[in-house]
Amino acid sequence: MIHRSPLPDVEIPDVTLTEFVIGGAARFGDATALVDGRTGESLTYAELRSAVTAGAAGLAAHGVGPGDVIALMSHNQPSFVVALHAAIAAGAAVTPINPALTPGEIAKQLRLAGARLLIAAEPVVDKALEVAGEVFVLGEHPRARSFTSLFTDGPAPELDLDPATSVAVLPFSSGTTGIPKGVRLTHRNLVANLAQTRAGWRIGPDDVQAAVLPFFHIYGFTIILNSGLLGGAKVVTLPRFELDEYLRTLAAHRVTRAYFAPPMVLALATAPHVEDHDLSSLRFALCGAAPLDVEVTERAERRLGCLIRQGYGMTEAGPGTHQVFDDDFTETPPGSVGRLSPNTEARIVAPGTDSDVAPGETGELLIRGPQVMDGYLDDPAATAATITGGWLHTGDLVRVDDDGVFWVVDRLKELIKYKGYQVAPAELEAVLLTHPAVLDAAVVGVPHIEGGEAPKAFVVTGDTEDTVGADELMAFVAERVAPYKKVREVEFVERIPKSPTGKILRRLLRT
Ligand code: 4UU
C-alpha cells in the first residue's frame, strides 16, 4: 500500500536553489535576514543578496563554475550563508564540512568530494591549511586570504545549468550502511523540499528562527536556514548550544520558531532558570535527528510554554519527508513525526523484502518523492542498494496510524546517532583495525545519557589481550576521529558474530 500526504501536491519551480531562496529578497528588502546572535552583526535581505552576487562574481572571476565543488567548513554565522549561496550562484556544488573533524577526516572529504578550494571559519583555518591546497577565510587570518577579498562588482554569472541534474549540495552521510558517502542533492531536490515544507509551515516575515543546529548538517541547512530565508524570516545564528546564551537569545530576539535536537530538549527539561526568561514569543518548536522521549518532551514544554513536535527526515531526502503541519500542531500526538509532506509517498515493508506489512504493523519505511537524492557520489553500488525502483530505503522502522500519522519505532540500519550527529560504525571499525593489537572489531550504538546513544566497540585481540587496554584503544580512536565519534565503551570478546557471508550481526551485540 502506498501512503500519501493529506496535502495536495505543490508545484516545484524550475530554478536554482539560490534563485529560489534569495531571488525574492527584493520583496523583503530592508528586513533583517541574518543576525549573529553572539556579535549582533546582521545583514538585511538586500545586503545578503548583493553580497551573494559579489561573491559569485568574484568566484567566477577566480575560475569557479559549474562542475566545481567548493568545501565550506564553518559554524553557524551570517558569512557562512553568504559563502554558501555565492558558491552556488557561481554554479559550484558545496560540500559542507563539520569543523569538528580531524585534519585526516577533512582531507578525506575534500578528496572524495573533489573539492577545488576550501572556505573555512577563522577558528579552523590552521586545520584547513594543513590539508587543503587553497583556503579562504570567513573573517581575517594572517595565513589565509579572506573570502570577501574575492568580491567583485558586476552581475552574478549567467548559469547554464539544469536544476534537475546539477548538484547544489554534497553533504556526507553513511546512509543505511558503510562509510560516509557524498549525497548528490540537486537544485531540484532542495527546491522541492523547501516548496514541500512551505506547504505545511507558514514561515513569514514576522517570524524569527533560532538557528543553533549546524547549517553543515541537512536539518540546519534546509529546515532551519533556507526555509527561514525563503519565508522572509529573521534567522538568528549561534555557533554552538550553550543553554543560558540560547535562552537569552530566544528572549532578546523574540524568537517565534525554535529547532531542537534531543540533547537540547533534555537540557531544557532539566536545567534551572528556564522560566526566568521571557519566551512568550515562541509559537513553534521542532525536534528531530534522533528519537525523543515523550516524558522529557512534556517537561521541556511546560518550562518553555510552547509545544514541541518532531520532524523526521534524512540527508538522502534533502531531508524532509514528514511534518507536523502548523495547522495540526496541537492535535498531532507527541512522540509521532506527523504526516507525509506533499509530493511524498511512503511504503512500509517487511525488512529485507518488497512486501508491504499489514496496516498498523511496523516495517521499514521507503520514500518516493522529488526530494530524494540523485544518488551517492561515485558509488553506483551503494546507490542501487539504497534506491530501488525509485524508492529510498530509510533503514528506519516505522508504523502509521489510521490518521496517517507516522511513528519512528526503531532504527534498522547500523548508523549511530550521537546528539543527532551521524557516526558510522564501519568508519570506527576501520580505525580500530589499524591498531596492531586488534584482530577484529565491531561497533554498535549503546544508550548514552548525553548523546542519546554512543559507540561501543567489541574487540578481538587474540593473544595480545593483556597488552592493550580499553582506555588505550579509546585514546587511539579519539586521536583519529572528531570528538562526537569517540568510542565510549570497549568490550573484549573472543569473536565477532558474523553471518555466513561475513556481515557483522550487530543485533546480537546490542542485546
Ligand atoms: C527518530 O538527522 C537528519 C535529519 C533530521 C531532520 C529532518 C527533518 C530533522 C527535522 C526535520 O524536519 O538526517 P541524517 O541523515 O543525519 O539522519 C537521518 C536519520 C534517520 O534515518 C533516522 O534514523 O536520523 C534519524 N532520525 C530520527 N529518528 C531523524 N529524525 C528522527 C526522529 N526520530 N524524529
Q: Residues 17-74: pLDDT tens digits? A: 999 999 877 789 899 999 999 999 999 999 999 999 999 999 999 999 999 999 999 9
Q: Do residues 294 and 334 make contact, with C-beta atoms less than 8 angstroms apart?
A: yes
Q: In a 10 Å sphere around its CB, with 0-12 CB exposed, 13-18 middle and 19+ buried, how is residue 266 labelled? A: buried
**Mutation pick for ligand 1 pocket among 196, 417, 484 (CB with most ligand atoms within 8 Å):** 417
User: Mean of the pLDDT values across residues 267-281?
Assistant: 94
pLDDT of residue 27: 84
pLDDT of residue 467: 75
How far is 416 from 423, CA to CA, in rounded Å?
5
**Mutation pick for ligand 1 pocket among 312, 332, 337, 413 (CB with most ligand atoms within 8 Å):** 312
Q: Cell numbers of 23, please?
A: 531571488
Element (H, E) at 259: strand 257-260
Given a cut of 90, whether residue 76 has pLDDT beyond it is yes
Q: Residues 364-375: pLDDT tens digits? A: 999 999 999 999
> What residue type is 115 in one-letter code?
A
Res. 510 pLDDT band, cuts 50 70 90? confident
Non-local (6+) Cβ contacts of 173 within 8 A are 180, 181, 183, 218, 314, 315, 316, 422
How far is 485 from 480, CA to CA, in rounded Å?
10
Taking CA atoms, 228 is separated from 119, 176, 201, 259, 311, in Å, by 23, 29, 10, 11, 16
Q: Residues 176-193: pLDDT tens digits? A: 999 999 999 999 999 999
**Mutation pick for ligand 1 pocket among 294, 396, 397, 398 (CB with most ligand atoms within 8 Å):** 396
Given a cut of 80, whether residue 511 has pLDDT beyond it is no
Q: How far away, in angstroms, is 461 Cα from ligand 1 center?
A: 35
* pTM summary value: 0.97
Given a cut of 60, whether residue 465 has pLDDT beyond it is no
Q: What percent of the chain has pLDDT over 70?
A: 99
pLDDT of residue 26: 76
User: Mean of the pLDDT values across residues 146-175?
Assistant: 95
pLDDT of residue 462: 78
Q: How far away, in angstroms, is 314 Cα from ligand 1 center?
A: 5
**Mutation pick for ligand 1 pocket among 170, 176, 219 (CB with most ligand atoms within 8 Å):** 219
Q: Residues 307-345: pLDDT tens digits? A: 999 999 999 999 999 999 999 999 999 999 999 999 999
User: Mean of the pLDDT values across residues 466-489?
Assistant: 94
Percent helix, strand, coil in the chain (nearest 5)? 35, 25, 40
Q: Residues 428-444: pLDDT tens digits? A: 999 999 999 999 999 99
Which residues line the pocket of ligand 1, CB cutoff 6 A?
Answer: 173, 218-219, 223, 288-291, 310-315, 319-320, 337, 394-396, 408, 411, 417, 420, 422
Q: Residues 385-417: pLDDT tens digits? A: 999 999 999 999 999 999 999 999 999 999 999
> What residue type is 32 in one-letter code?
T
Res. 154 pLDDT band, cuts 50 70 90? confident
Ligand 1 atom with the smallest distance to the CA of 321 is: 8
Q: Are strands 69-73 and 93-97 parallel, antiparallel or unpaired?
A: parallel
Ligand 1 atom with the smallest distance to the CA of 395 is: 21
pLDDT of residue 466: 59
State the average pLDDT for the chain.
Answer: 96
pLDDT of residue 272: 86
pLDDT of residue 273: 87
pLDDT of residue 464: 58
Q: How far away, in angstroms, is 393 Cα from ligand 1 center?
A: 13
Ligand 1 atom with the smallest distance to the CA of 417 is: 24
The single residue listed with the C-alpha cell 579509546 is 474
Strand, coil or helix: what is 284? strand
